[in-house]
């Protein structure tokens, strides 16, 4: 095990710095990993929303992955925004070729407002060729609703959905319950080996939650790369994201849904 594990993020670029590749690089670095990146799309966005998305060509995505994999040999890969069939196939081909030990996929399928960010064809392609190559998939409740073709509104339904998806795709599923009503947080894991776990906590009130999904998935990938078990990796990642939300809740960065503070330790040192 290398002292600084290499973690590769395959995701879109957020020019405002709160989500996507930028959030992943901050997270991996804050947790003691070395961050490499493959950009799948250039987004024009800020804390108020996304104005435009320009996809990077599938060939360029493939070449970026090959360049990193052949030289840096990452310990783990995190996948975020991918929304066209050709790029999905290119990523799958690279995963099959290099067979990285850990692949964490955050399926960015639905916008905060509830709109689909992928075509039906792209979603089907992800199910068929990408899901079976992953170690862990981290959908939120809106994304689970798309994958299971039904709404999921309680911890019990989250567990049933996670079990259904884990069995179908032979991978581990972490259903994120951040959109559940009430003051409590609840995420549910169903592992490929048939074990389940529930992660509970209190919600932290904040308007600065931009990039939470990206941050959690890249934190889990980093913890896996450091040698933690899935359960330990998720617990440590959730502890980190809670600290990042708490550290960022009073920040005034942008006029809308602001970012987390990805270096909470630096906040404590400055106090």
Give the per-residue pLDDT at 193.
93
Both structure tokens of 261:
């503070």
Give the per-residue pLDDT at 269.
59
Q: Closest Cα partner for 144 from 159, 134, 133?
A: 159
Give the per-residue pLDDT at 113.
58
Q: Closest Cα partner for 176 from 210, 208, 205, 214?
A: 214
| pLDDT, mean of each 10-residue run, the chain (271 residues) | 89 96 98 98 92 94 98 97 94 97 93 74 95 97 93 94 96 92 90 94 91 96 97 97 95 94 79 53
CB contact at 8 A, 178 and 140: yes
CA–CA gap between residue 92 and residue 109 (Å, rounded): 18
């Amino acid at each position: 095990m290398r002292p600084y594990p290499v973690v590769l993020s395959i995701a879109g670029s957020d020019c405002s710095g709160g989500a996507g590749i930028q959030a992943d690089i901050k997270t991996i670095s804050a947790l003691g990993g070395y961050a490499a990146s493959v950009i799948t799309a250039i987004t024009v966005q800020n804390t108020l929303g996304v104005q435009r998305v320009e996809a990077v060509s599938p060939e360029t995505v493939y070449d970026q992955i090959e360049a990193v994999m052949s030289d840096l040999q990452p310990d783990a890969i995190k996948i975020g925004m991918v929304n066209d069939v050709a790029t999905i196939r290119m990523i799958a081909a690279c995963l099959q070729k290099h067979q990285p030990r850990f692949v964490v996929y955050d399926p960015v399928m639905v916008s905060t407002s509830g709109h689909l960010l992928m075509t039906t064809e792209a979603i089907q392609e992800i199910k068929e060729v990408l899901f079976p190559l992953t170690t862990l998939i981290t959908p939120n409740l809106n994304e689970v609703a798309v994958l299971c073709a039904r709404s999921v509104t309680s911890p019990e339904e989250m567990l049933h959905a996670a079990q259904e998806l884990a069995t179908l795709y032979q991978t581990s599923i972490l259903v994120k319950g951040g959109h559940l009503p009430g003051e409590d947080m609840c995420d549910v894991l169903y592992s490929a080996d048939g074990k389940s776990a529930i992660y509970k906590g209190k919600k932290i009130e904040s308007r600065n939650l931009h990039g939470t999904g990206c941050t959690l998935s890249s934190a889990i990938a980093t913890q896996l790369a450091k040698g933690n078990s899935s359960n330990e990796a998720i617990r440590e990642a959730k502890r980190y994201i809670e600290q990042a939300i708490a550290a960022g809740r009073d920040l005034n960065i942008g006029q809308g849904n602001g970012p987390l503070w990805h270096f909470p330790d630096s906040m404590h040192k400055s106090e």
